[in-house]
């Protein structure tokens, strides 16, 4: 199969027809799913086609891998094997859902993506060269146009995640200690500092509505040329 063209190398007309790829990242319970629901509604209110998805998962094969990863069944295979599984899931998700959606002009909102591997598996000790090689394999030319890191103190995020979970047990990664969750927060912030053109940090503190307004300001500023004219859609 020929490689997908790099979207930044496409002529303007082709680029304009392509959708936008936005990923939301951050620690447990930061509010990514909540904000994707709100952002999807606002973009759809403007008449845009939106695909909301998540990782690990998002396609039937990737959802099967998600079950193996989050249940902890894959944990005994070691962090390198888990990293390969995240990459395999991502490659299928990109090829079968994300790339086709972008090609037909949809905006794709993805709850976690490659930065989560850099942070979670990177902090588990997996060699960053392996992580980057697998990322290139899985993502190809479909790098996010914008990554929003929802930033929140780990303790508060874990409290929110516990409320959402109710009586269910914490998953494979959520059950780690507070110090690891704080280190993940710092690692997300380091990615933002290293890639300011792609990544914007948004405080996830405050009400969902307050966070949504912060996110919308970023979207308006970043995609002014791609959003239909008119007032911001209400929450
Ligand atoms: N992982 C993932 C890796 O290790 N490597 C990888 O490459 C990838 C892709 C995924 C796990 O896999 C790991 C990271 C994760 O540990 P998941 O179940 O998809 O697991 O977990 P999360 O993505 O962390 O999902 P959460 O549901 O925990 O967090 P969200 O989506 O950030 O939060 P959300 O929106 O569900 O909100 C949580 C609760 O808080 C409330 C919500 O109503 C909900 O009850 N809430 C708020 N409350 C107060 N104020 C606000 N502003 C609120 N916003 C939401």
pLDDT tens readout for residues 159-199:
999 999 999 999 999 999 999 999 999 999 999 999 999 99
Task: Compute the average pLDDT of residues 126-135.
Answer: 98
Model confidence at 3, pLDDT cuts 50, 70, 90, reads: low
Instruction: Say whether 39 sits in a helix, a strand or coil.
Output: helix
Q: How many other β-carbons are positioned within 10 Å of the β-carbon of residue 107?
A: 26
How much distance in Å is there from the Cα of 1 to the middle of ligand 1? 35
pLDDT at 122: 98
Q: What is the model's pTM?
A: 0.94
For the cut 70, the answer to whether the pLDDT of residue 106 exceeds it is yes
Our mutation pick for probing the ligand 1 site, out of 23, 24, 30, 31, counting the most ligand atoms within 8 A of Cβ, is 31
Q: Point out the ligand 1 atom lying closest to the alpha carbon of residue 36.
A: 35
Q: Which residues line ligand 1 (CB under 6 A)?
A: 28-34, 54-56, 70, 86, 111-112, 116-117, 120-121, 160-161, 163-164, 171, 173-174, 207-208, 211
Place of tokens 């060699």: 127
**Strand segments (E) across the chain:** 21-26, 50-54, 107-111, 146-151, 199-203
Across-strand partners of 160?
A: none
pLDDT at 4: 52
216 to 39, 51, 99, 210: CA distances (angstroms): 8, 17, 24, 10
* Cβ(112)–Cβ(54) below 8 Å: yes
């Amino acid at each position: 199969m020929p490689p997908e063209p790099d979207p930044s190398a496409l002529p303007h007309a082709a680029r304009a027809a392509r959708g936008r790829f936005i990923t939301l990242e951050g620690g447990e319970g930061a509010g990514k799913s909540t904000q994707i629901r709100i952002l999807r509604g606002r973009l759809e209110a403007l008449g845009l086609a939106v695909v909301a998805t998540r990782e690990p998962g998002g396609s039937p094969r990737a959802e099967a891998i998600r079950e193996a990863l989050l249940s902890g069944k894959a944990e005994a295979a070691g962090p390198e094997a888990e990293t390969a599984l995240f990459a395999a899931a991502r490659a299928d998700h990109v090829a079968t859902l994300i790339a086709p959606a972008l090609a037909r002009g949809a905006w794709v909102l993805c709850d976690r993506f490659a930065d989560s591997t850099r942070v979670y598996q990177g902090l588990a000790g997996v060699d960053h060269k392996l992580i980057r090689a697998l990322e290139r394999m899985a993502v190809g030319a479909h790098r996010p146009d914008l990554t929003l890191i929802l930033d929140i103190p780990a303790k508060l995020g874990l409290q929110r995640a516990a409320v959402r979970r109710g009586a269910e047990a914490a998953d494979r990664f959520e059950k780690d200690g507070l110090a690891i969750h704080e280190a993940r927060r710092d690692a997300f912030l380091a990615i933002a500092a290293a890639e300011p053109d792609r990544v914007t940090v948004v405080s996830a503190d405050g009400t969902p509505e307050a966070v949504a307004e912060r996110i919308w300001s970023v979207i308006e500023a970043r995609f002014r040329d791609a959003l239909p004219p008119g007032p911001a859609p209400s929450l």
